[in-house]
Amino acid sequence: MFMSGKTMRILVLLFSSFLQLCYALDTIRQGERLGVSHTILSSGGLFELGFFSPGQSKNLYVGIWYKRISVYKRTVVWVTNREYPISMSFNSSCYLSINKDGNLVISDGRGMSYSISSVSTSSQTSATLLDSGNFVLRDTTSNVVLWQSFDHPADTFLPGMKFGTDKRNNRTWTLTSWNSLEDPSPGVFSTVLDTSSSEFLIMKGSQKFWTSGRWNGEIFSQVPNLRLNDIYNVSFVSNENVTYLTYDLHNTSMISRSVMDTSGKLKKYLWLDGTKEWALFWDLPRPCQVYALCGAFSTCNDMRIPNCRCLRGFEPYSLRDWMQQDWSAGCVRKSSLQCGGKDQFVLVNNVKFPVNFESFSALNAEQCKHACSRNCSCNAYAYKGNCHLWMVDLLGIEQLERGDYLFLRVAASELQLINSDSKNTTLSSKPRDKKQLLLTAALPVMLIMLISGFFAFFLRKINLKRKAGRKVMSLDLLSFDFNTKMQAMNAEFSDISNKVSERWDAELPFFNLASISAATDNFKDANMLGQGGFGPVYKGKLLNGQEVALKRLSTGSGQGLEEFKNEATLIAKLQHRNLVRLLGCCIEDEEKILIYEYMPNKSLDFFLFDPANSKVLDWEKRIHIIEGIAQGILYLHQHSRLRVIHRDLKASNILLDSKMNAKISDFGIARIFGGNEMQANTNRVVGTYGYMSPEYVTRGLFSIKSDVFSFGVLLLEILSSKKNSSFHFSESLTLLGHAWYLWRNGKGHELIDPMLYDSFNISKALRYINVALLCVQEQAIDRPTMSDVTAMLSNEVTCLDSPKQPPFCTMSSIETVSSMNLSGDSSTNDVTLTVMEGR
């Protein structure tokens, strides 16, 4: 069958039109024009290049933006004609093309053009938009890159870009903020890499605004978030030819960008495909990281209003500026220094060292002080292995909860005033030798220990003689004085491998059932404190007024006599201020009863999950409780005579004494590990769903990392006042899932109980959430130890890793796990006593 000539002409015309459109996919060639209404797309469709007008602007720019992701406004990553915009009135006639010299140019239709590239070549060239966001001009014959947009960044740093200097080609890669959200012309903030000090700076005009600190081989000291993680990898290259910073993503399908913001902040974003929004991963600097924000001789505190405060002995240079929160002029001395040995030094505690100090070797702090005293230009000194002297004005002093200390030089006339006005500042006009202070403090302690040792030795000998022919004897609970009798019994506590007697009562007092029944008014319901999975708990009252808690094992608890004895004996050996103390027990007829110290403030869940009661737990109390729980677990894992895995850490098992001190309770399902034992396996999974680690729930594996997981859940509950197992959000998220969602979206602070908004420390709160998410990571090997946890909670300087997504993020995942045929012994009650398994 033959086509007519007319049909053939139509097909040729259509095919020619198709060919004309094809060039616009990702490449511009010589002789082709890209008009205002046309764009080119990268091969994968991620980036788009063309003309755009930001916001309500009347100007046109050529730029690159994300195409594949859709947000309410275009996310531009590169602009070429920032300083040479084209008026919208010429939008119908302007275009982008490659001229006869092979260079990219923008023409506005009036005969005016702006050259984007300036290469010299006799060959044909073409420009291609890559899926990396890089726009490259190539020699079409050799395919050599002649020019690329990555060498001329705007305000955005993309994976694969370089930031620094190329000495061979006299090229500098910097970021410069937009002037405003609708004006991409260069703003006042820019980033510069200082090759001499291997640090990068944010500049405000020509003034230093922030410094990253030096590169230490892994991160810049002031940017801990650059630490290697599972999201991106940062590389710093420095040699005789180039010095630059670059990064790439471990997951190439992830979308990330860093932006030099108009506010002077460098912000790192990640695209969340599920929620279709940009999540702020981190930003810097914090207010107190801004270079010389508070000027000279003042401290900065992010959580203080105002942020800046003059050092003692100093006053604002300009009170008027200070009142308007312009602290840049800093502070000046109230009284001039006299030098000649008349000046004194005052201790400034918990700070980050000021910048620009000189260091030299010194044997001790006294030598360091002497070096500063004899130099009238020396304003302060600090001894930290080496002697640090500040010969210039003190800039950049940041107040921390736990930091370094230095000695500030003040005029003698200011000394008395500072001393009377300060409770936290210690004067050091005649500091005593450190060794002498330690010796003076140690002598009384050594004397007391010596006397106590002799007393314990003789008491032990007497007790051993008495026990040689003694049978187990039941005591009267009502008349027992725990405060005095238990002190003497503490001397008998010894290592389990060095028992002095085969009789288990050598460690714990027995009480008769009649006296227990009398103390509880015959187990009256009014004295019942709660009902656990293994029996009720009662309050008992002794004749001296002391109150105790009694756990009465029910006949159906499944715990035998030997198991009960084993549990009681071992728990009695655990002595720590953050563990509930076991005082005694009773085994008579069919009754098995444990006697504990009484906690008047009940358990943590009584306050935490009740909107009315939670008001009692202010920010400071919660921090105190968190630190107490952490110390208690650390003792069990590392510092007790036995390595103990609790296995049932939850809010209802954290009791509170009269001073709201946290006490870990309920060791019924705890496991004792040997010195070298790190992990165990069980076919009988017991505990509480929502607090159990995934490897324990699914495979029966437990270790110290199982308790770390439970602590992470508990930490999130304390911060949010929400229960993990019963927490529901718009997408049926658990508390773990909700915390993870907020954290990845840069909204971690929203997890905090709104009742605490007026009092909580946001930097500490975010740090605690970070620690909690590290604790609840799915893989046990990724979780920190409790030793690491306590260090991270207490030390603000410690760099924290980025957490990985936790398991059990949705309610359905917990329901699936809880329906598995494991053991059926999960703990769901507020008070639980279950079987301890032997080694």
Q: Which residues are catalytic?
A: 648
Token pair in block for residue 598: 């009484």
For 249, the 3-state DSSP assignment is strand
Token pair in block for residue 357: 């100090």
Asked if residues 792 and 771 have their Cβ atoms less than 8 Å apart, the reply is yes
Torsion sign over Cα 295, 301, 307, 309: negative
Report the C-alpha gap between 689 and 665 in whole angstroms.
Answer: 18
Report the C-alpha gap between 757 and 742 in whole angstroms.
Answer: 16
Report the C-alpha gap between 565 and 505 in whole angstroms.
Answer: 9
Q: Among 801, 804, 799, which residue's Cα sits nearest to residue 777?
A: 804
For 474, the 3-state DSSP assignment is strand
Asked if residues 801 and 506 have their Cβ atoms less than 8 Å apart, the reply is no
Report the C-alpha gap between 381 and 675 in whole angstroms.
Answer: 46
* Contacts with 260 (C-beta within 8 Å, 6 or more apart), sequence order: 155, 156, 157, 175, 176, 177, 189, 190, 191, 202, 266
Asked if residues 564 and 553 have their Cβ atoms less than 8 Å apart, the reply is yes
Report the C-alpha gap between 354 and 405 in whole angstroms.
Answer: 11
Q: Among 597, 629, 631, 601, which residue's Cα sits nearest to residue 616?
A: 601
Asked if residues 158 and 165 have their Cβ atoms less than 8 Å apart, the reply is no
Report the C-alpha gap between 205 and 177 in whole angstroms.
Answer: 11
CA angle 572, 577, 582 (to 5 degrees): 25
Report the C-alpha gap between 454 and 287 in whole angstroms.
Answer: 58
Q: Among 33, 22, 20, 27, which residue's Cα sits nearest to residue 99?
A: 33
Q: Among 6, 83, 27, 266, which residue's Cα sits nearest to residue 157?
A: 266
Q: What's the distance, Cα to Cα, between the start and end of the chain in Å?
A: 90
Report the C-alpha gap between 818 and 120 in whole angstroms.
Answer: 70
For 673, the 3-state DSSP assignment is strand
Asked if residues 813 and 698 have their Cβ atoms less than 8 Å apart, the reply is no
**In degrees rounded to 5, what are phi and psi of residue 145?**
-75, 120
Report the C-alpha gap between 524 and 539 in whole angstroms.
Answer: 9
Q: How many residues does the chain have?
A: 839
Alpha helices in 427-540 (DSSP H): 434-468, 482-490, 513-519
Report the C-alpha gap between 423 and 564 in whole angstroms.
Answer: 52
Torsion sign over Cα 442, 446, 449, 451: negative
For residue 581, the 8-state DSSP code is P
Asked if residues 517 and 541 have their Cβ atoms less than 8 Å apart, the reply is no
Q: Among 139, 128, 148, 129, which residue's Cα sits nearest to residue 102?
A: 139
* Contacts with 369 (C-beta within 8 Å, 6 or more apart), sequence order: 345, 381, 383, 407, 428, 431
Edge-first strand order for the sheet with 113-115 is 33-35, 95-98, 104-107, 113-115
* Contacts with 437 (C-beta within 8 Å, 6 or more apart), sequence order: none
Count CA within 13 A, CB hemisphere, residue 116. 32
